[in-house]
Amino acid sequence: MTDITNAPGPRSPHRTTELIAGTLKRRHAKEARLKWIGLGAIGIAFTMLFILIASLVSSGWQAFAQTHISVAVYIDPQEVPAENLPRGGFDDVLAAAMAQMLPDADTDDRATMRSLNGILSNGAQFSLRDQVVANPDLIGQTVTIKVPVSDPFDQLNKGLIDRDTIEQNRRVTDREIAWFDTLKDQGAISKPFNWALFTNADSRFPELAGLKGALVGSFWVLSICFIISFPLGIGSAIYLEEFAPKNKLSDFIEVNINNLAAVPSVVFGLLALAVFIGWFGMPRSAPIVGGLTLALMTMPTIIIATRAALKAVPPSIREAALGVGASKQQVVFHHVLPLAMPGILTGTIIGLAQALGETAPLLLIGMNAFITSAASSPFDSATALPTQIFIWADSPERGFVSRTSAAILVLLGFLMLMNAVAIYLRQKFQRKW
């Protein structure tokens, strides 16, 4: 029963209208200010992102092309005896072929011959040898091979070496520049897309170094990370959210999971070093250890995302299922979990993307080793994308500068791809209630 009869009447209505009108201008100004501050923040963020991408692209794009040279090589049976192949003097054969193309070079001078050979990548003799081993009939014939030039000439061709610097201060001599220009005039020089960046493993020679080892390593690391952290994370989240009694212990666990998500990654690396490598004797530099370490890091993220997704399923669906007689477990697995799946997958992918870019723990378990072949199992030594970037950034050769940027671009490309998948999943499976 209300007692409206005793209530006081309204205060003067005109006065109220005036008071409200007086505050309007201030409120609108505040609103406009907020809008501009927000726009400004977004603008700054975008500018930073643009500067980052632009600087990476400007220094990295050159690495996506590689200067090659086509050389017609006469495989001299005197230099390369068929019965003694693997030790054959392929560098001499190549030097002779180079001398053929450059008539002014003195073929009797060993120093000249060495610098002629220096135009070619160190890998040229090995790739030629591989061809001959595969097909010994080539001995005595002339084959045309297309091989990368060595790093200084690649830089020269890309215009990264200033021809006006005094001779002693640059990596190539005036004579070598003249040779290179002659070769270029002959049309022997080309600059195709650098597939080797994706098909070669790491190398000391920038023109041969590629990301295959790192890509394969990252693949193993992420696979193991996913296989371990996804089921464990979802399992823990379902238990904590749906089944665990709400008491001091579950509060304690919840707080600690949140803390775990905030622990610096280098600490996980130390833990992995002590436990996985120290106690369990797992191999150093192996993706299995990297995967386990990153799984520890990713799990809290997955647990938190899964719990949030489970919480977001409307209680009416649980009630509906309970109402027709579903057991608790049936409610969770038939209704709640499928509805929470898009949220869980989004969280998982974001967690994995974070793991993909993680460097510090991998450094501690030795995944920054110099490894020239791609891992064929998670137990082989390997590097990962971020540690490969770390190694290249540390290398003095000029060719590695642009390769570092290129590797960063590849890493960013994968991260964007993963985030795009996360957004796509969220859009696709989003439900309206």
Partner 1 sequence: MNDMRKVERDLKVNDAKITARNVDVRYGETHAIKDVSIDIPDRTVTSFIGPSGCGKSTFLRCLNRMNDTIDICRVTGKITIDGKDINERSVDPVQLRAQVGMVFQKPNPFPKSIYDNIAYGPRIHGLARSKTDMDEIVERALRRGAIWNEVKDRLHAPGTGLSGGQQQRLCIARAIATEPEVLLMDEPCSALDPIATAQVEELIDELRQDYSVVIVTHSMQQAARVSQKTAFFHLGDLVEFGETEKIFTNPSDPRTESYITGRIG
173 or 329: CB nearest partner 1? 329
- Decide whether 171 or 335 has the Cβ nearer to partner 1: 335
Is 325 a binding residue for partner 1 by CB under 8 A? The answer is yes
Question: Which segment (165-173, 273-281, 296-304, 330-338) binds partner 1 by CB under 8 A?
Answer: 330-338
Q: How far apart are CA 309 and CA 351, in angstroms?
A: 15
Containing 142, the helix (H) or strand (E) segment is: strand 142-148
All residues at 6 or more sequence positions from 84 whose CB lies less than 8 Å from its CB, including other chains:
none
Residues 274 and 365 sit within 8 Å (Cβ to Cβ): no
Side-chain half-sphere exposure of 283, counting CA atoms within 13 A: 13
Query: Counting contacts by CB under 8 A, is residue 433 touching partner 1?
Result: yes
Task: Give the CA distances from residue 272 to residues 96, 218, 259, 292, 371, in Å, rounded to whole numbers and listed in that order.
Answer: 54, 17, 18, 8, 21
DSSP classification of residue 273: I
Does 335 bind partner 1 (CB under 8 A)? Our answer is yes
Among 224, 289, 321, 407, binds partner 1 (CB under 8 A): 321
Containing 197, the helix (H) or strand (E) segment is helix 196-199
- Is position 323 an interface residue for partner 1 (rule: CB under 8 A)? yes
Task: Give the Cα separation of 429 and 292 in Å (integer).
Answer: 30
Q: Whole-number minimum distance, CB 342 to partner 1, in Å? A: 12
Distance set, CA 298 to CA 144, 261, 277, 292, 294 (Å):
51, 8, 20, 10, 6
Are 94 and 107 a contacting pair, CB within 8 Å? Answer: no
CB of 217 within 8 A of CB of 287?
yes
Q: How far apart are CA 389 and CA 401, in angstroms?
A: 10
* Closest separation in Å from C-beta 19 to partner 1: 35
Q: Does the protein bind partner 1 through residue 281 (CB under 8 A)? A: no
Q: Residues 6 or more apart from 216 whose CB is under 8 A from it?
A: 374, 375, 382
358 three-class SS: coil
Of 154 and 241, CB closest to partner 1? 241
**From 94-102, 303-311, 329-337, 389-397, span contacting partner 1 (CB under 8 A):** 329-337
Burial of 30 (0-12, 13-18, 19+ CB in 10 A): exposed
Q: What residues numbered 232-271 form the site for partner 1, per CB under 8 A?
A: 245-246
Instruction: Tell me the C-alpha distance between 151 and 68, whole Å.
Output: 11
Least distance between partner 1 and beta carbon 249 (Å): 15
Cβ at position 154, least distance to partner 1 in Å: 58
Which range binds partner 1 by CB under 8 A, 87-95, 176-184, 220-228, 321-329? 321-329
**Which position has the token pair 């642009």?**
402
Tell the smallest beta-carbon distance from residue 127 to partner 1 (Å).
59
Given candidates 177, 326, 363, 412, which one binds partner 1 under the rule CB under 8 A?
326
- Give least dist CB 40 to partner 1, A: 41
Give 215 or 238: the residue with its C-beta nearer to partner 1: 238
Residue 336 CB, shortest distance to partner 1, in Å, is 11
Q: Rounded to the nearest whole angstrom, what is the least distance from the CB of residue 393 to partner 1 in the complex?
A: 49
Among 330, 354, 395, 419, binds partner 1 (CB under 8 A): 330
Min dist. Cβ of residue 313 to partner 1 (A): 10
Measured from the CB atom, the residue of 76 and 242 that comes closer to partner 1 is 242
Our finding on whether 21 is near partner 1 (CB under 8 A) is: no
* One of 54, 140, 334, 394 touching partner 1 (CB under 8 A): 334
Q: How far apart are CA 272 and CA 225, in angstroms?
A: 13
Which of 59-67, 292-300, 313-321, 417-425 is the region at the interface with partner 1 (rule: CB under 8 A)?
313-321
What 3-state class would DSSP assign to 368?
coil
**Shortest Cβ distance from residue 316 to partner 1 (Å)?**
4
Verify binding: residue 339, partner 1, rule CB under 8 A. Answer: yes
Name the site residues for partner 1 (rule: CB under 8 A): 1, 245-246, 314, 316-327, 330, 334-335, 339, 431-433
